[in-house]
Amino acid sequence: MKKNKKNIPEFKNEQEEREFWLDNDSAEYIDWNKVKPVIMPKLKPSTETISLRLPEHLLFELKLLANKNDVPYQSLIKMYLQEKVKEEFN
């Protein structure tokens, strides 16, 4: 027997909603089995700085390719990673 989900209250502002979700389990309000992923192409993603160790020859080759394509090498790495991740999900 499935348990009925609670109705999500209406919030006056974002801060009130943030406080609500700090103290409440979303599983009581949302059936996560029915949720579908959403792509928001105009939303600028936040970034996080990471440290990534690469073999010198690989970094050198990436820099050569980036120079050839007139893009910063870090941007090229992000493009390659994004392409591969997208490929894996399709």
Q: Are 62 and 77 in contact (CB under 8 A)?
A: yes
| Structure tokens belonging to residue 24 | 């409440």
Q: Which pLDDT value is given to residue 2? A: 58
| 59-68: long-range pairs with CB below 8 Å, 24+ | none
| pLDDT, greater one: 45 or 21 | 21
pLDDT category at 1 given cuts 50, 70, 90 is very low
Q: Which pLDDT value is given to residue 4? A: 81
Q: Are 29 and 7 in contact (CB under 8 A)?
A: yes
Q: Which domains are seen in the chain, by residue range?
A: 1-36 (no CATH), 37-90 (1.10.1220)
Q: List alpha helices for the chain, DSSP H.
A: 14-23, 56-68, 73-89
Instruction: Please give the distance of CA 44 from its chain centroid, rounded to a whole number.
Output: 10
The pTM for the full model equals 0.52
